[in-house]
Amino acid sequence: MRAMTWNLQGRIGDWQARHPAIESGIRETDPDVVMLQESWVEPDGATQAQVFADSLSMHAVTAASLAGFDRYPDAPYWVVNAILSRWPIEILTVIALPDQHGEPTWRHVLVARVARPADMGGEFIVAGTHLEHGLDRTETRSAQLRALCGHLAEASGGVDGWRLNHPIVLGGDLNAVPHSDEIRSITGASVPYVDGFVLVDAWDACGNPTRGDTWSSDNPLVPRRAIHPNRRLDYLMVSAPRRRNVGHVERCWLTGDTPFGDIWASDHFAVVAEIDL
């Protein structure tokens, strides 16, 4: 199964020119599932994910229920998480993630079930998220990841089901580098947020020798004076424990790290992984 995650940069800059470049990136990668961040939704219900799905012959779900139009009724659009799938897909839950004080934020996790045919391995669960940004926001991201891990641990069947079920595949812009406290806890390099439940970083799991920066000064859409432009912020992860002989990461790579024609698709590079699922 080929998974992909991509922060699309909303409608920043010349987003209408970037849209076909993003579509080209997805089409050329030919993924089975794509977790999208900063994917736009309009007040009338139109979504960027569905536009892609219609063009690419895929299925789409969008966390439109968490758009902020109730608070900002004049907003022309909102950005949320969305997921594209080769097979039919349904939302299981969309949950706002809390800050360190337990208050809900506009950051959220979208959890969905992919109805892959039984003869191809059967259905599985995917999730997409986008965490708080800022070099100094580790405490907030830790609270968000603690809540996210709790939701994923439950969605994957709880303690009794973890070793019986397919793993959950998580994709997202976590806005944290691999050696940060919050990523160390989610991957089990430090005390896990949920006892006995971790997420395996696909980039590391397949032995990539390079840093894999997804927010890079090589990208002209990244501000020249960005405080810290060269970081790996975007991840594909696979939950563990899980059913035996599934969930192994075969390889993981970046795309969108060069322009399509003369158009850079987003200020983030996309992450792609092939996973035995």
DSSP string spanning 44-70? TS-BHHHHHHHHHT-EEEE-GGG-STT
Q: At what angle do helices 48-56 and 15-29 cross, to 10 degrees?
A: 40
* Structural domain of 7: 2-275
Residue in this structure with the two tokens 């139109």, named with its chain if needed: 46
Whether residue 241 has a cis bond before it, omega within 30° of 0: yes
- Take residue 240 and report the two structure tokens written for it: 């563990």
Q: Specify the number of domains making up the chain.
A: 1
Q: Tell me the whole-structure pTM to 2 decimals.
A: 0.97
| Predicted local distance difference test score (pLDDT) of residue 224 | 83
User: What span, in angstroms and rounded, lies between the C-alpha atoms of 68 and 106?
Assistant: 8
**Local confidence band at 147 (pLDDT 50, 70, 90 cut-offs):** very high
* CATH code of residue 122: 3.60.10.10
| Predicted local distance difference test score (pLDDT) of residue 169 | 98
Q: pLDDT tens digits for 178-235?
A: 999 999 999 999 999 999 999 999 999 999 999 999 999 999 999 988 888 999 999 9
